[in-house]
Every structure is written in structure tokens, then in C-alpha cells.
Chains A and B, each alone.
Chain A
Amino acid sequence: MISIRNVSKWYGEFQALKKCSTEVDKGEVVVICGPSGSGKSTLIKCVNGLESFQEGEILVDGISVTDRKTDLPKLRSRVGMVFQHFELFPHLSILDNITLAQCRVLGRSKKKAVEKAVQLLQMVGLAEQQPKFPAQLSGGQQQRVAIARALAMDPIAMLFDEPTSALDPEMINEVLDVMVNLAQSGMTMLVVTHEMGFAKKVADRVIFMDRGEVVEDQPKHTFFENPETERARQFLSKILTH
């Protein structure tokens, strides 16, 4: 579904990504972890072309992200993305946040878009919030709306860029619960996160990145019980001791 092949990216002299490669198959859940500055977020943003890269290739459902002939907006509309800071549109109600792109991008009727939005808001447990504005919701609620907004486009895969990093601890679980349900429903997911509990529960594979490189790309059991590299072992011991 998502093929990342030898992707390299430079910011001037600084190389942010070094020949990163991986595959995410249909229905697979892959977690990317690693220390901050390791290039995880940069890599995931390359998948839907929000970041450019100089070398390598990324295919989404067989379509190249970098090919000039690719209709990038169309490709993006088929891949949902959830951001660290939610990025709901503050001037629009919760309902309008979820219907805007359905109507403008997919050309759905207002009625159909609202139906879809209400159904998804029920799924994330926020049906009664639809007339409110983002600023009136808690961080956890906003992030659940953001997930619903992405799902409203009927994506073939979902990208999560540190979806719980900006949340107060007591709100992390409500977001993770939605993500676990989504994973179990068979959604293809690429998730940048430090939530190792989430990875243990639903991930098929875990990718460990450090200094722009994919250091490990393992089935989750291998990664947690028997990581190959010293760097991954150190990282795990740091975040799993408490």
C-alpha cells in the first residue's frame, strides 16, 4: 500500500533522511519510533508530499508521490493525516471541520457529508459536540475530531504524526482507544509515536529511526524482546524503565 524506497532528504548541508526504506501492506499497522530529531515526522510527511525529498521514491497504492504527473491533491485526499497539534480549523464548527473537504474535494452533497460526519463523530464519542468550535473542546476531544475529519474522506491509509505528544496525560488514552479500534477494524496505519503500549497492542511492525536512518524494521515481538542493534536497545531501556 505504501512503499518507501531509499528516500534521502537534505536541509541544505544537513541530511535529515538517509536512504530510508520500508513497506506498509494493506491492513498493516506500522509504528515508527525513535529519539526526537531522528527524522520520523519528516519521513511520514514525505508519504503524502507535505515534505519534499531529493532522492528515492514513495509509492502510495502504486502512485508515485514525486511524479510530476501525479495529482497530488487527489493522492492526499486518499491518505488521511492526523497532526501533533490537531490543526482543526478554528473558524469552523466541529461539523464544518469534517464536512469542508468532503464537499470541496470529494464533491459530496452537504447532506451526505453531514451524515458521514455525524456517523464518525458518534464513532469517536463526540456526537453532541458538533455545533461547537474547536477552542471549546479539550485537546483529546480535538484530536478525536481530527481523526474523524481524516476518516470522513474514506482514506485507504492513515498517517499519524505524534498524535498524543501534545496532549495532557489524562487525555492520551481516549485518543489511543480510537486508534486501537481503527487498527482492529483493518485500517492501514503508519504511526509516529512514543506510545509503546499502543505499539505492543496493535502494531504489526515497529520501525526504529535514529539520525535520519531506519535502524530497525522488525515484527513487534522481535523489536521489543530482542532488538538487533545497541541503539534500539538503549532507546527502549530509556523509555520503558518507568
Chain B
Amino acid sequence: MFFDWSAIPGALPILWQGMIVTLQITLVGVLVGVLLGTLLALFRLSPSRLLSWFSATYVTIFRSIPLVMVLFWFHLVLIPLIVGLLFPGQRLELRFITALTAFSLFEASYYAEIIRAGILSVTKGQLSAGLALGMNRGQVMRLVILPQALRRMVPLLLTQAIILFQDSTLVYVINLDDFFRKAYNVGNTVGTLNELILFAGAVYLVICTLASGCVRQLHRKLTVLAR
């Protein structure tokens, strides 16, 4: 079997467009995911039963459903329903918004557990010290505990971001042209599908390997600093 890579150089600009979509989904997923995840972690640890229950339920639900299902469900039902209510009668291009929403909400459930573990890893003595100085609980959380928790969790948060970067290929199922789907389309049109998919896989491999290496380095540095 011979490989024909000739379609790739000419397709690079198209593939780059797809990569931008992939990166946008990853970036928004991480940022919103961490923000929402922090909020969920705080809810989970709050003395309020209602908030704690809400957070636990949210996390359990999203962690128990395959990501593909979440994407499908958001694409077919939830987003059209909400947009239909807000902008009745209009036909809007919703796939990108759907992907961003689904990934953000899905990732939040994973980030929530990481951040909760981070908060619990900060000793109770730090809370006591903050309170003893006259800070209220919110201030102690914001100024003392969260900065330590997030710093400790940076390697895990970044590892989760790398997983999200790979998982973003699942937008394939809602016909959104990310990097992978662009490669697939080019291959399909030109007739060298195998080559394009191999190439796309190699790109993911290189990016993720490099990123993992950086996270390992960072982890080592943080461990040294923590001593």
C-alpha cells in the first residue's frame, strides 16, 4: 500500500482554520470549566445543604454521561429549545455555541472534583489562622485557601486541559468543522482519507506530547518550590 501525502501542503490553510476552532473550544472549555468548577467546588463544601446537594448532583450527572451523549443532547434538544424561546422564528447557526456550552458545562464537573480535592488539601489550620485575623470565611477562601489550592492543582488542571483538547474531536458528531473534521473532509474530497487521518493523528500526538512534557516540567518546579 502506498501513501499519497500530496494533498496535505495545499490543505494546510483549511486545516489551520479547523485548528483555530479546536483551540477555541479547548480554551473556552478550560476557562469556563475552571470558573464553574471552582464555583461548584465551593458549593459542594459550603455549609448549605441545598448548594452542596446541587453541586453533588451536577457532578454526578455529568460524570455519568458519555461526552458524545452530552454533545448530541445539547445539539438536538437543549440549545435549540433555549434559543427557540429567546429568539423565536429565527434560524441561527448554533453548532459552535453548542460545542462551547457542552464542553464548558461538562468540563466543569471534572474541574469541580479536582479543585475540591485542592481545597481539602489545604490544612484546617490555614482557615483558623485566617479567621483568627478577623477575615470572614469568604475572604479566607479567596485570599488564603483558593490561591494555595489552585497552585497545587495546576498540573492536574493542565492535564485535564490536554484531555479536553483531544476530546474536542468529538464535535465531529454535531458536524462542526474542527481540526479533525477538516482533515476528514479534505481526505474524503481528495480521495486520500487514510493519509489525512494519519496526519491529523500525528498532529494531536505531537501537540499533546509536548504539552505533557511542559506540565511535567512545571510539576517538578512546583514540587521544588513547595519544599
Contact of A76 among B125, B132, B227 (CB under 8 A): B132
Q: Please tell me if the beta carbons of A73 and B143 are within 8 angstroms of each other in the complex.
A: no
Contact of B131 among A50, A80, A100 (CB under 8 A): A50
Among residues of B, the one whose C-beta sits closest to the C-beta of A135 is B227
- Tell me, rounded to whole Å, the shortest Cβ–Cβ distance linking A136 to chain B: 10
Spell out B's residues near A (CB within 8 Å). Answer: 125-126, 128-136, 139, 143-144, 147-148, 151, 226-227
Known: A87-B128, A89-B126, A135-B227. A100 touches B134 (CB 8 A): no
Q: Please tell me if the beta carbons of A87 and B126 are within 8 angstroms of each other in the complex.
A: yes
Contact of B134 among A73, A85, A87, A90 (CB under 8 A): A73
10 closest Cβ pairs, A-B complex? A77-B134, A87-B129, A101-B133, A81-B132, A105-B134, A87-B125, A76-B134, A73-B134, A73-B136, A91-B147
Known: A100-B143, A135-B227. A91 touches B151 (CB 8 A): yes
Known: A89-B144, A91-B147, A91-B148. A50 touches B132 (CB 8 A): yes
Asked if A104 is an interface residue, CB under 8 A from chain B, the answer is: yes
Contact residues in A for B129 (Cβ distance below 8 Å): 81, 83, 87-89
CA distance A164 to B32 in the complex (A): 45
Contact residues in A for B126 (Cβ distance below 8 Å): 87, 89
Contact residues in A for B134 (Cβ distance below 8 Å): 73-74, 76-78, 101, 105-106, 153
A 85-100 to B, binary, CB cutoff 8 A, 1 in contact else 0: 1011111000000001
Contact residues in B for A81 (Cβ distance below 8 Å): 129, 132
Contact residues in B for A89 (Cβ distance below 8 Å): 126, 129-130, 144, 148
Contact residues in A for B136 (Cβ distance below 8 Å): 73
